[in-house]
Structure 1
């Protein structure tokens, strides 16, 4: 066989190995069996075949300056497909970028590999070096993800997450139709919601819009985390039916997620809210509890209203007076739920975000200014849910016993980790 035909054959094998590496990562990202060990076994089998392909390339061809870096990169990439850190993968990827510093995909893989080791600053350095070679949506998304991880426990969480959002938007600008970039932006906005205290619903709306754009990409429909995180957003937006549908879809795509548990927790909460509302039907007791509400004076900027007269959404210039009957405990720390009765003796659910749970107590009188109203009305698994709800996001949207709430009761610095967010 001539040298030319040998080189052609070696290049063909290298191409096959590159394709095998891509298929290996596709398996990683789309195969979610009931038993996670089956996935590990499948990855081990596929990676073994891909490595054998690479090893079948003649050694003299592998050592050529034009091919050595690519060979090292593919070997490291294949080894790094598993969740745990592998030093051998890092060694091959490090060789690849030393041999060819312009090999952007090798920098991406190296950054991801070092991230698994826990050395986040070095991982970020790899991705930043890759970006210096030119804008790349995959690098930008990975950098955005890494920054969200680095924000956890940092003193300047919000600042780091804002950088994550910036890089996510830069990735979208490079390819507005790429679903993964939109998904990444959705995760960044969702993380920002938690970092800033889980009260700013504008971040949730931005996140939801990004996820909806991600869903337009057919390639994203196999991503269970997209459905899980979108369901989380809908839960906090009180779109309970959409949240339950999303958790169910996520569970069907990846049984290993805790999506079923999240759906069960949400159903448990809804059942509890329903139970509290149904239990408050004694007119005499309600009349006694709410009798003092009529004597409360309102700021002239607001007119007195009742829950039954509110419109869906924000009701500017209106104030609702109510008596807190119960604090409703549930499994999550955010938001807080209270059963409140208005001056017409109509009970509703008060949902409070970004506030310590000792800011409001049972028996308190509350004045809800410019209330954000939502009528929950849906059925799920033959159970019907119907109740009135008011959401409070800011301290200045509510008075307790006629007084403004002290800023010390605000929570603005909690972070909750999302699934692969």
Structure 2
């Protein structure tokens, strides 16, 4: 226990183990009925409090001993999702008795966070860090900064602070799965809140999640699988996303992971349906005839079959938008389009309002990012070509740049239960 005094008494050690077991159950037990979890936590908390109260009075006389006693009582009472004033009172006493007890500062910050007083929670974490670096507190501070960023004008700056603190936690212990998981969440949040739609952030989050999975203790964390699947979904790694959401749903039925699976299936079915309902050849030839008129100054013109998979630098592709594909998610926008060779492809566009591109428009895709989607799921085969647009600067609509008012941000945040 950080900030303790010499060897703990056997009674305190037993009490600390009971508190740790309580939190292990909180973080790994996800029954179908959430009330069942609360009931089990209550029974374990009552038993743990009895163990704490059985510590002999002579073993909680000194300020440091008393601090540990108050800390354990507060920690046990704070295991539930809702704020408990009694927990805050015990934890406040603990840090007054021993300001170096980092674990107590961590619990106090979390407790105050539940109350909704985010600046005071941040102050707790900062005070604890002033006593020395601590990976758990750095991770919680990082998470709190992402929470504080929501809906504020300086949210991009706060998220960058969150990433900085998450990286500091990782550097303290590069094998700690929770620190990697938190860094993944910070990068995933950055992808959305900055409005940049930079999918390098998604790749960074995936790499962090993969490092988190190497830690056996993280295998039971359903949010890790959910958030990793979310990153894969926005990278359009549909098969990996489906597997990830299914794993999350198995580990915690209360997550909306099954809904996410269904959303992806619905999208893929709509894409497949749009590809099957293709325009007649004669009309298609008429629709794409105007594409040859588009003149390019800086880029070499190409069709989708010439493009390599991935990023195609110094190349542009011209297409005709045929169908807007409606689906259940905020972003991206999906369209069925075809190129000058009358080859169909799916166009996915991030960061633009749906009014920016309409059916019948000509789109010029600068340095297009090509994907080949080809996999089977539950006996159904999905196969199509895809072009992804991450930035407004990568697309011209009817030879014009999209208007600034067509830019949008999506406010989506990593799944986490404090």
TM-score, length basis structure 1:
0.95
- Matched residues in 2 for 1:227 and 1:129: separation? 32
SS in 1 for 2:413: coil
SS in 2 for 1:351: strand
- Matched residues in 1 for 2:267 and 2:196: separation? 18
Residues 143, 164 of structure 1: 8 Å contact kept: yes
Runs of 4+ more than 6 Å apart: none
Shift, 1:298, TM fit:
1.9
Residues 198, 353 of structure 1: 8 Å contact kept: no
Identify which range, 36-45 or 119-128, moves more after superposition: 36-45
Could you say which residue in structure 1 is the equivalent of 2:5? none
Alignment partner of 1:59 is 2:57: yes
SS in 2 for 1:153: coil
Residues 198, 414 of structure 1: 8 Å contact kept: no
Given the alignment, which residue of 375, 378, 392 partners 2:375?
378
Could you say which residue in structure 1 is the equivalent of 2:411? 415
Given the alignment, which residue of 275, 278, 281 partners 1:277?
275
| Gap regions ≥5 residues in structure 2 | 1-7
- Matched residues in 2 for 1:199 and 1:55: separation? 53
Could you say which residue in structure 2 is the equivalent of 1:30? 28
Shift, 1:407, TM fit:
2.7
- Matched residues in 2 for 1:202 and 1:369: separation? 18
Given the alignment, which residue of 373, 387, 390 partners 2:387?
390
- Matched residues in 2 for 1:58 and 1:370: separation? 72
Could you say which residue in structure 2 is the equivalent of 1:241? 239
Shift, 1:198, TM fit:
6.0
Given the alignment, which residue of 356, 359, 363 partners 2:356?
359
Could you say which residue in structure 1 is the equivalent of 2:341? 344
1:93-136 deviation digits (Å, cap 9, x = unpaired):
00001111111100000000000000000000000000000000
TM-score, length basis structure 2:
0.96
Shift, 1:357, TM fit:
1.2
- Matched residues in 1 for 2:81 and 2:393: separation? 46
- What is the number of equivalent residue pairs in this alignment? 410
- Matched residues in 2 for 1:407 and 1:111: separation? 41
1:159-197 deviation digits (Å, cap 9, x = unpaired):
000000000000011001111000000000000011012
Given the alignment, which residue of 213, 216, 241 partners 2:214?
216
Could you say which residue in structure 2 is the equivalent of 1:5? none
Could you say which residue in structure 1 is the equivalent of 2:3? none
| Gap regions ≥5 residues in structure 1 | 1-9
- Matched residues in 2 for 1:396 and 1:216: separation? 38
Given the alignment, which residue of 301, 308, 311 partners 2:308?
311
Alignment partner of 1:261 is 2:259: yes
- Matched residues in 1 for 2:39 and 2:177: separation? 29
Could you say which residue in structure 2 is the equivalent of 1:399? 396
